[in-house]
Amino acid sequence: MEEKEISQAVIGRLPRYFRYLGELKDEGIERVSSQELSDIMRVTASQIRQDLNNFGGFGQQGYGYNVGYLYEEIGKILGLDKEHNLIIIGAGHLGQALVNYMNFERRGFLFRGIFDNNPDVCGRQIRGITVRPMQEMARFVQENDIDIAVLTIPKASAVEVAEQLVSYGIKGIWNFAHVDLHVPKGIQVENVHLSDSLMKLSYNLSSHQTEK
């Protein structure tokens, strides 16, 4: 198959297809047309066809999409057919919220360790996982085949910790610290900047109020 670069915009929409298809599947629906999918997802049918064509199509003229098959295939594209081993750096409220979120585990994202630099927190258990001191991170990453690190620490330390993690062999960083990480090529970073999201909401609120 021809190699082509798929835009991050398309990739960003895949989890949403996956979610809607999962819901249709749970409802026992076996096939869906791009028009029906368009109606429930509130995007155009042509966008759906275009997006899915990036991965070779999946649809059949006059039949539509097989829900179960498409769900499986998008899952594979998203890498959900493999397990990922995760650690969380930062055992604060956000770190705890993520560890306690059962859906991640169902999708193959397994939290293996939690690290914190506060000695009062180390030794505590969160959902059966012991919080460890940062000094043990290097060895833990290597011995437990960890591929994703989740950063829920303040921005002041995030850049340095990210560099350490990369040197230990981490390939993916899910970054909640409010700072842009500059990592070597080949390392994947996905940011969740909560403040940015709230500011965007604030913008949309005030620009709408001005219109009144």
- Minimum gap (Å) between residue 39 Cβ and a copy of itself: 12
Q: Which two tokens stand for residue 70?
A: 């498409």
- DSSP E strands in the chain: the ranges are 31-32, 65-66, 84-89, 109-116, 125-126, 129-133, 148-151, 172-175, 188-191
Candidates 94, 110, 129, 134; binder of a copy of itself (CB under 8 A) is 94
Residues 21-50 that bind a copy of itself (CB under 8 A): 41-42
The site that binds a copy of itself (CB under 8 A) totals a number of residues, namely: 58
What is the number of other CB atoms lying within 10 angstroms of the CB of residue 198?
10
Residues 45-64 that bind a copy of itself (CB under 8 A): none
Residue 47 to residue 53: CA distance in whole angstroms? 10
Span from 10-18, 56-64, 112-120, 131-139 in contact with a copy of itself (CB under 8 A)? 10-18
Q: Which two tokens stand for residue 168?
A: 């230990």
* Nearest partner of 151 among 136, 139, 134, 135, judged by Cα: 134
Q: CB-based burial of residue 65 (10 Å sphere; 0-12 exposed, 13-18 middle, 19+ buried)?
A: buried
The reply on whether position 112 binds a copy of itself by CB under 8 A is no
Rg (alpha carbons) of the chain, rounded to whole number: 20
Span from 45-53, 78-86, 133-141, 160-168 in contact with a copy of itself (CB under 8 A)? 78-86
Helix (H, G, I), strand (E, B) or coil at 136: helix
Candidates 97, 139, 145, 160; binder of a copy of itself (CB under 8 A) is 97
Candidates 61, 62, 93, 128; binder of a copy of itself (CB under 8 A) is 93
Binding mask 182-201 for a copy of itself (x = CB under 8 A): x---x-x-x-xxxxxxxxxx
Which residues would be at the binding site for a copy of itself (CB under 8 A)?
A: 6, 8, 11-12, 14-16, 18-19, 41-42, 77-80, 82, 84, 92-94, 96-98, 100-101, 103-104, 107, 109, 147-148, 171-172, 174, 178, 180, 182, 186, 188, 190, 192-209
